[in-house]
């Protein structure tokens, strides 16, 4: 996504580079210290996630929680969708110095209407624009600056649900698979959102783009089968609370 903004000093923001679901584990990167965050209902003091600036650039950082669309696996666009969200992020705006970390605290607002028997899905979003000086000589000029926007999934879990149920292997074996023609229907009887790490039918894996769509709690999701998929044998792994794949499951 590209945006252009005129600045009084003569600087020009020439493009906006959108990067999603990245972390700063690699040297020289910018991002979060994890790929997903579980927020337990009623957590005292909120839940922490860390933004890492592994670059040599100072970034003004804007942080917020975004609504999510589980059917696409992406944040929901539009200000209207963000109104009334049950979370706050502090600090919402802060400078991140080069080679430093910024802890962000996710606070749950009281009195929200999230369902008490299943997970709710959101995204944590940070937008960072490199700080830059005006062109030498004080004249007008053009400068290309890359703005980084990164997101990770935020799963809110009501009281009574386990913080690491997927990691402990309690969720993946409960999924039900139904192959019909050129589609696969996945039924999820659990109260947790399902993100597939790998999903294959007849030994043919579904591509990463297709697997972006999540299976909602106590719901279903339908996936188009890849060319050449045959039979009813289905194997899968899902992503746990720490971003790792679970053990391989199989249904014949």
Pairing assessment for the beta strands 36-40 and 146-157 based on DSSP bridges: parallel
Q: Quick check: 189 and 218 in contact, CB under 8 A?
A: yes
pTM for this prediction = 0.81
pLDDT at 138 over 80: no
What does the pLDDT average to over 51-76?
A: 89
Residue 145: per-residue pLDDT: 59
pLDDT band for position 25 (cuts 50, 70, 90): very low
What does the pLDDT average to over 201-218?
A: 96
Give which of 46, 43, 130, 131 is closest to 91, Cα–Cα: 46
What does the pLDDT average to over 129-154?
A: 64
Mean pLDDT (the chain) is: 83
Starting at the edge strand that comes first in sequence, how are the strands of the sheet with 196-201 ordered? 204-205, 196-201, 234-238, 249-251
pLDDT at 60 over 80: yes
Residue 127: per-residue pLDDT: 87
Q: Quick check: 119 and 217 in contact, CB under 8 A?
A: yes
Residue 29: per-residue pLDDT: 78
Higher pLDDT, 124 or 8: 124
Instruction: Give the Cα separation of 229 and 218 in Å (integer).
Output: 27
Residue 27: per-residue pLDDT: 45
Distance (Å) of CA 109 to CA 46, 62, 85, 89: 10, 20, 8, 11
Instruction: Give the Cα separation of 4 and 122 in Å (integer).
Output: 28
What does the pLDDT average to over 5-14?
A: 26
Residue 71: per-residue pLDDT: 85
Q: Quick check: 183 and 222 in contact, CB under 8 A?
A: yes
Residue 73: per-residue pLDDT: 84
Residue 110: per-residue pLDDT: 87
pLDDT at 241 over 60: yes
What does the pLDDT average to over 194-219?
A: 96
In terms of Cβ atoms closer than 10 Å to its own Cβ (0-12, 13-18, 19+), residue 165 is middle
φ/ψ of residue 114, rounded to 5 = -70, 145
pLDDT band for position 184 (cuts 50, 70, 90): very high
What does the pLDDT average to over 171-184?
A: 97
What does the pLDDT average to over 119-132?
A: 85
pLDDT at 114 over 80: yes
Q: Rounded to the nearest 5 degrees, what angle is found at the Cα of 120, between the Cα atoms of 118 and 123?
A: 160
Higher pLDDT, 127 or 2: 127
């Amino acid at each position: 996504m590209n945006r252009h903004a005129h600045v009084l000093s003569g600087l020009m923001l020439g493009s906006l580079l959108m990067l999603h679901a990245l972390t700063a584990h690699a040297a020289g990167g910018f991002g979060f210290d994890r790929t997903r965050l579980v927020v337990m209902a009623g957590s005292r003091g909120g839940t922490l996630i860390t933004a890492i600036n592994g670059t040599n650039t100072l970034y003004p950082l804007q942080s917020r929680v975004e609504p999510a669309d589980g059917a696409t696996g992406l944040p929901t666009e539009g200000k209207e969708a963000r109104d009334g969200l049950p979370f706050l992020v502090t600090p919402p705006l802060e400078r991140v110095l080069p080679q430093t970390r910024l802890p962000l605290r996710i606070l749950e607002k009281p009195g929200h209407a999230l369902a008490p028997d299943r997970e709710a899905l959101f995204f944590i979003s940070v937008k960072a624009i490199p700080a830059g000086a005006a062109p030498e000589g004080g004249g007008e000029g053009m400068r290309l600056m890359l703005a980084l926007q990164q997101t990770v999934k935020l799963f809110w879990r009501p009281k009574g649900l386990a913080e690491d149920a997927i990691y402990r292997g309690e969720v993946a074996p409960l999924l039900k698979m139904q192959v019909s023609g050129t589609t696969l229907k996945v039924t999820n009887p659990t109260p947790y959102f399902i993100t597939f790490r790998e999903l294959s039918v007849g030994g043919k894996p579904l591509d990463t783009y297709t697997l972006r769509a999540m299976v909602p709690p106590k719901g279903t999701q339908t996936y188009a089968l890849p060319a050449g998929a045959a039979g009813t044998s289905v194997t899968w792994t899902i992503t746990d609370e720490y971003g790792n794949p679970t053990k391989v499951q199989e249904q014949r």
